[in-house]
Amino acid sequence: HPETVFRWGDPRTPYMPWGWKAAGEGPLGQWTIDFMEKVLARRLNYTLSAWWFTAQAENNPFPAQALAPQTHLEAAELWAKLLREWQRRFGFEGLVYVDIANEVPYFLPGFIKKYEAQTGPWDEGGQPFSEQQVAFLANDLNPAMSALQREFPEVRFTGSIHGDLRWLDVPLQFDCLDVHFYSDVDPRWRDRTRFPEYLPRLFTDASWHKEFSERCKAARNAVAPMLRAAQRSKLAAFAAWANQKGMPLTTSESWSSWYYYDSPDLDWGWLLEWAEWSVEDAIEYKMWGWTPHNYCQPQFANWKDARWHRRLTDRFLRS
């Protein structure tokens, strides 16, 4: 029923890059159809992904949902229902892959709490996963992959993950990898920029932008080559894993700070420079897919230079 009208409240997050600015309502299904008709008319490739935010999400008041999956197999069952309708309306031409859950384990309702209750703290980037943690992740993710691969053999499936080296020990049944590599996981970046200290007011207050911007530029001037070297090391490890397991490496968001905004107090020079590095690293490590960052939406003035995007994209594609 694409004509069904969904409603959502005022998010009260004026500096949220990915959401909306006010309360609203609309036929979300029909909007998706309209958008996909434009994508297909232009013969563009695309991916599908789900964040699984619920109406109770902390960031924004998302529209009420009929179902909230607690496991990736439950999520796969909902994906299967959607993909049957998707195939009927659009077919699968141009669909590069389906990311069944964005940034596992963070956004599937209750999943990370269940993981921690059964296996211990998540502790990103910490000690390697225990055997129990490896089994928990594999036993939850792989049945979901299997179910979708059985029903839709012509579609590729994955679950996007952070550039956390612990994943290399998990025997995943993904068709490809969508790995998100960010500088903020490096303590040298976190400490210099003090980014974690701004998180409580990230989307509601711009008073911290100027200091953060100055700290980003200072960090870039002091340790940019070191941060890039560390990031390249992770990229090399994931590229080797991808080659070993036959899961080609791509990314739908990566590289420097995962949060940035069109603000008069936020300088984009260092961030655009980092994006330029990334295409060379993606080529060197034979990535299957690449993107310059996390903010390529047209509402950002700093991303509206189509010639800049074309130059980097052509550089990647010609490789």
Which amino acid is present at 51?
W
- What does the pLDDT look like over 230-283, one tens digit per residue? 999 999 999 999 999 999 999 999 999 899 999 999 999 999 999 999 999 999
Give the predicted TM-score (pTM) of the model: 0.94
Is residue 55's pLDDT more than 80? no
DSSP-assigned letters across all residues of 54-95: -TT-SSS-PPP-S---SSHHHHHHHHHHHHHHHHHHH-STTE
Quote the pLDDT of residue 13.
87
Quote the pLDDT of residue 298.
65
CA dihedral 180→271→222→280, nearest 10 degrees, is 60
Q: Of 70-74, 109-113, 162-166, 183-187, give the lowest mean pLDDT range.
A: 183-187
Q: Cα angle vertex 305, ends 302, 307, to 5°?
A: 150
Quote the pLDDT of residue 48.
98
In angstroms, the Cα distances linking 151 to 71, 81, 157, 172, 173 are: 19, 11, 12, 19, 15
d(CA 177, CA 246): 10
Looking at CATH, the fold of the domain delimited by 6-318 is given as: TIM Barrel (3.20.20)
HSE (side-chain half, CA atoms, 13 Å) at 9: 12
Quote the pLDDT of residue 194.
97
pLDDT classification of 59: cutoffs 50, 70, 90: low
Quote the pLDDT of residue 305.
86
**Cα 246 to the chain's mean position, in Å?**
21
- What does the pLDDT look like over 163-209, one tens digit per residue? 999 999 999 999 999 999 998 789 999 999 999 999 999 999 999 99
User: By the 8 A CB rule, do 198 and 210 touch?
Assistant: no
- What does the pLDDT look like over 282-308, one tens digit per residue? 999 999 999 988 876 667 888 888 899
> Percent of the chain scored above 70 by pLDDT?
95
Is residue 146's pLDDT more than 90? yes
Quote the pLDDT of residue 58.
59
